[in-house]
Amino acid sequence: MTISMYQASIPMFLKTLGNLSEILKKAEAYAAAKKFEPSVLINARLAPDMLPLARQIQIASDAVKGFAARAAGVDVPSFADTETTFAELQARIQKTTDFLGTIKPEQIDGSEDKDVKLKVGGNDLTFKAQAYLLHFVIPNFFFHVTTAYAILRHNGLEVGKKDFLGAY
């Protein structure tokens, strides 16, 4: 049995973004319950040289919308990366899931050998779409979602593996 490019990507991205949205709801409620400014969490980082929570979410969003668009041969939606509140981060996740919802299996299935070109850190990279998904997008997506989770957990939010993985 084979797995298609669509099956290996879009449903997983949608589920994980939904789980991230639920974690952010808990983080917002946590800040309210503890009576501190939500910006404390939104700007939190694990180490001084790491990116803050908001940027982790932006990059996770960029990874999956970029993959879906490039594999489907459509324009990558451009989001401004200006989110500074939980509501704005939730809207970012929603815009990303809305876009992913427009991608149909037939748009990306069979794209495994399609050339994907992008610029990362000033470097021009070229991948085959399957390698782009498996060796670049998925690891980057989960790195940034995991880091967002870890930032919140490190700051006292009571979440666990079930929150990260969601319902089975």
pLDDT number for residue 54:
98
pLDDT tens digits, 98-141: 999 999 999 999 999 999 998 888 999 999 999 999 999 999 99
Contact 147, 46 (CB under 8 A): yes
How far apart CA 158 and CA 75 sit, in angstroms, is 38
Q: Domains in the chain, start-ordered, CATH in brackets?
A: 15-103+123-165 (1.20.120.450)
Contact 72, 108 (CB under 8 A): yes
Q: Residue range 3-24: average pLDDT?
A: 97
| pTM exceeds 0.85 | yes
Binning pLDDT at 50, 70 and 90, where does residue 57 land? very high
Contact 97, 14 (CB under 8 A): yes
Q: How many CA atoms lie within 13 A of 20 on its CB side?
A: 33
Nearest C-alpha neighbor of 149 from the set 5, 12, 19, 62: 19
Share of the chain above pLDDT 90, in %: 95
Other Cβ atoms closer than 10 A to 107: 18
pLDDT number for residue 1:
66
Provide the mean pLDDT of the chain.
Answer: 96
